[in-house]
């Protein structure tokens, strides 16, 4: 016997049970985001590697360690998308969307790829639902995006949600702050972890993220970017906060909030769920006012977020998802195979009339067929036999024999009673 093959590590099959829960996520997203004027976009599963190097940032973990990069037959370096913001920004520029009324509000639900250590809630292929609103610097767009994600998570029953909010200022503020932080880190270098020390030049902000005890102690006394914001940035942040307060959204200002992508400026945020283990981030995002320009487009502000579908489902627990409606289950007396075709015809007709109809396909006895109909929650069962079709109303238990050609009408009438 040949060896059994398995899905690659960090990937998994979406089986029908979970597929049904994902549909619920997609429908909630379409309804909530659509009502706020967001329209669906989908970009290719792979892009030129350069897009992520330039967009996400070459010093990030994503670009340095986590990309699935390959060369195609034409010698081009391509990468399976690790995230959706850089591709959507690329599409905005490529399709001249700056000519449309601004902001252009887009949402997506797609799969992404990162070579990470696989564990519960952390896969190598995962799914995100996300939004990008490009073309407005108004703090109301930041607040609106955050409120929409909060509403989506609430609708989907994600438990124990917490929102952390911060501001990174603009590139200039950050450059000055970065130098100040680098000087501080160098002054305390002996107490930092090797990893943090190695990143003082390339990515000093990540030091706030470290678990290493010595580093954490040093960081507790480090200068804070939030205290260094320019007047305009501080005002932008204050407006976002006031709008969230007005919407009664609870959040915590976290001056140490850093995100794993380099394009952020001003507002950043992260939703976590205490119902999740170590991978507690359900969704996060922020403003990326320099990204479009960095990718060769006109200077254009933008803001968005993405939330992991697997983590949403984990944190939502076993929220009931409606099973498919079965109005009619059609079987026949197994001793009389000549009735099989009539049964097939009735199920087909029923579906054309808009009913949910399933056919007996496993050669069960009549008793077994009734049991199966009950298991799938069928409202009516029609068993074809010598005398016609015996139609049983599974709700009332009443039974009637009708002409095979009258079954669909009978169910349509009975269903509305």
311 forms part of the interface with ligand HAM (CB under 6 A): yes
Please choose, out of 154-162, 285-293, 324-332, 386-394, the segment that lies near ligand HAM by the rule CB under 6 A: 285-293
**At closest approach, how far in Å is the CB of 123 from ligand HAM?**
4
DSSP assignment of 231-262, as one string?
Answer: HHHHHHHHHHHHHHHHTT---EE-TT---S-T
Residue 70 φ/ψ, nearest 5 degrees:
-150, 160
The pair of three-digit structure tokens given for residue 159, joined into one six-digit string: 């438990």
Q: How far is CA 99 from the centre of its chain?
A: 29
Select from 108, 305, 329, 380 the one that contacts ligand HAM (CB under 6 A).
Answer: 305
**At closest approach, how far in Å is the CB of 97 from ligand HAM?**
16
144 forms part of the interface with ligand HAM (CB under 6 A): no
Select from 55, 84, 103, 169 the one that contacts ligand HAM (CB under 6 A).
Answer: 84
The SS3 of residue 412 is helix
10 Å Cβ neighbour count for 278?
Answer: 8
Asked if residue 233 lies in contact with residue 301, where contact means CB atoms within 8 angstroms, the answer is no
The rounded distance, in Å, linking the Cα atoms of 100 and 102 is 6
The rounded distance, in Å, linking the Cα atoms of 285 and 290 is 15
26 forms part of the interface with ligand HAM (CB under 6 A): no
From residue 294, give the alpha-carbon distance in Å to each of 123, 289, 352.
Answer: 29, 10, 53
300 forms part of the interface with ligand HAM (CB under 6 A): no
Select from 204, 281, 331, 343 the one that contacts ligand HAM (CB under 6 A).
Answer: 281
Is the bond preceding residue 325 a cis peptide, omega within 30 degrees? no
The nearer residue to ligand HAM, 49 or 182, going by C-beta atoms, is 49
Select from 21, 22, 122, 266 the one that contacts ligand HAM (CB under 6 A).
Answer: 122
Residue 287, CA atoms < 13 Å, CB-side half-sphere: 28
Select from 55, 103, 130, 414 the one that contacts ligand HAM (CB under 6 A).
Answer: 130
The number of residues that bind ligand HAM (CB under 6 A) is: 28
Please choose, out of 44-52, 170-178, 305-313, 358-366, the segment that lies near ligand HAM by the rule CB under 6 A: 305-313
Q: Where in 249-268 is the site for ligand HAM (CB under 6 A)?
A: 260-261
126 forms part of the interface with ligand HAM (CB under 6 A): yes
Contacts of 407 (CB under 8 A, 6+ apart): 328, 330, 346, 350, 382, 389, 391
Chain contacts with ligand HAM (rule: CB under 6 A): 83-85, 114, 116, 121-123, 126, 128, 130, 132, 260-261, 281-286, 288, 304-308, 310-311
């Amino acid at each position: 016997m040949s060896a059994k093959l398995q899905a690659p590590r960090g990937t998994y099959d979406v089986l029908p049970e979970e597929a049904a829960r994902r549909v619920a996520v997609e429908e909630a997203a379409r309804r909530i985001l659509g009502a706020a004027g967001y329209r669906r976009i989908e970009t290719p599963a792979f892009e030129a590697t350069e897009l992520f190097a330039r967009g996400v940032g070459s010093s990030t973990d994503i670009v340095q360690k986590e990309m699935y990069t390959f060369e195609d037959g034409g010698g081009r370096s391509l990468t399976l998308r690790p995230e959706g913001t850089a591709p959507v920004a690329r599409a905005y520029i490529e399709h001249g969307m700056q000519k449309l009324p601004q902001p252009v509000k887009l949402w997506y639900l797609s799969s992404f790829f990162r070579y990470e250590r696989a564990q519960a809630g952390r896969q190598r292929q995962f799914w995100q639902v996300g939004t990008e609103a490009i073309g407005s610097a108004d703090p109301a767009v930041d607040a609106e995006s955050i409120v929409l994600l909060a509403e989506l998570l609430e609708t989907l029953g994600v438990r124990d949600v917490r929102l952390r909010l911060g501001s990174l200022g603009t590139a200039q503020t950050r450059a000055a702050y970065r130098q100040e932080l680098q000087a501080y880190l160098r002054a305390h270098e002996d107490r930092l972890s090797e990893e943090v020390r190695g990143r003082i030049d390339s990515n000093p902000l990540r030091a706030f993220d470290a678990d290493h005890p010595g580093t954490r102690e040093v960081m507790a006394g480090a200068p804070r970017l939030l205290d260094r914001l320019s007047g305009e940035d501080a005002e932008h942040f204050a407006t976002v906060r006031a709008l969230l307060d007005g919407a009664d959204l609870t959040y915590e200002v976290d001056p140490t909030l850093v995100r794993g992508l380099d394009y952020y400026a001003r507002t950043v945020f992260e939703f976590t769920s205490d119902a999740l283990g170590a991978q507690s981030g359900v969704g996060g995002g922020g403003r990326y006012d320099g990204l479009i320009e960095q990718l060769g487009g006109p200077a254009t502000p933008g803001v968005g977020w993405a939330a992991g579908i697997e983590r949403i489902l984990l944190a939502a627990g076993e929220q009931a998802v409606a099973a498919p409606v079965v109005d009619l289950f059609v079987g026949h007396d197994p001793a009389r195979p000549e009735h099989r075709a009539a049964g097939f015809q009735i199920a087909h007709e029923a579906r054309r009339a808009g009913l949910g109809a399933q056919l007996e396909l496993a050669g069960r006895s009549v008793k077994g067929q009734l049991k199966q109909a009950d298991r799938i929650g069928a409202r009516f069962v029609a068993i074809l036999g010598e005398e016609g079709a015996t139609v049983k109303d599974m709700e009332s238990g009443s039974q009637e024999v009708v002409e095979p050609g009258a079954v669909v009408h009978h169910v349509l009438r009975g269903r509305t009673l």
